[in-house]
């Protein structure tokens, strides 16, 4: 009760018993067979993961990091989880560079991340074809939403 459910009809499954046998099975769809979305405002999660994130500073863009996750239903908007690159991490949290080392990506290495609302006002440009998105965070947002992830 109260849970989201989908009704799906498969050509090769004709009875309830056959459907029950498939419980827990993963359903995969090839990228080129996915439903087309409104490219300006809708995105598949897997197309956002790994995008380079950048912010405009003056006339140039500065790399912020990469999208590592997307959280659904955390408020009015989805939320991007961005792993900060070393240069930007020390800019957002100067003490980070003194206490942590960004050597390698081995187990146990902490990473500095930031949560950013996935709203057009804050993420005005998303170009999955070119592999980047631009953020325009209000002053203080990145500093307020930064956290360490192991």
In this predicted structure, what is the pLDDT of residue 106? 55
Q: What is the pLDDT of residue 135?
A: 97
Asked if the model's pLDDT at residue 96 lies above 60, the reply is no
Higher pLDDT, 79 or 4: 79
This prediction has a pTM of 0.77
pLDDT 10s digits, 62-95: 999 999 999 987 678 899 999 999 889 888 876 6
pLDDT value of position 6: 73
Q: Which residue has the higher pLDDT, 54 or 106?
A: 54
CA pair distance 25, 23, nearest whole angstrom: 6
The CA distance from 57 to 135, in Å, is 11
Task: State the Cα–Cα distance between residues 122 and 140, nearest whole angstrom.
Answer: 13
Structure tokens at 85: 């690159």
12-65 pLDDT per residue, tens: 899 989 988 988 888 888 888 888 887 677 888 899 999 999 999 989 999 999
Q: Which of 115, 116, 114, 112 is nearest to 95 (CA)?
A: 112
Structure confidence at residue 104 (pLDDT) = 47
Q: What is the DSSP string of 42-85?
A: ---HHHHTT-EEEEEETTEEEEEEEEEEEESSSSSS-EEEEEEP
């Amino acid at each position: 009760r109260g849970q989201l459910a989908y009704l799906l009809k498969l050509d090769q499954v004709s009875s309830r018993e056959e459907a029950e046998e498939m419980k827990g099975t993963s359903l995969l769809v090839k990228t080129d067979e996915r439903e087309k979305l409104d490219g300006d405002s809708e995105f598949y999660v897997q197309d956002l993961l790994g995008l380079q994130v950048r912010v405009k500073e003056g006339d140039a863009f500065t790399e912020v990091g990469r999208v590592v996750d997307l959280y659904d239903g955390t408020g009015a908007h989805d939320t991007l989880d961005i792993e900060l690159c070393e240069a930007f991490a020390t800019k957002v949290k100067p003490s980070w560079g003194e206490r942590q080392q960004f050597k390698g990506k081995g187990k146990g290495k902490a990473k500095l991340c930031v949560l950013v609302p996935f709203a057009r006002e804050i993420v005005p440009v998303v170009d999955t074809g070119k592999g980047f998105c631009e953020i325009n965070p209000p002053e203080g947002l990145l500093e307020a939403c930064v956290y360490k992830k192991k």
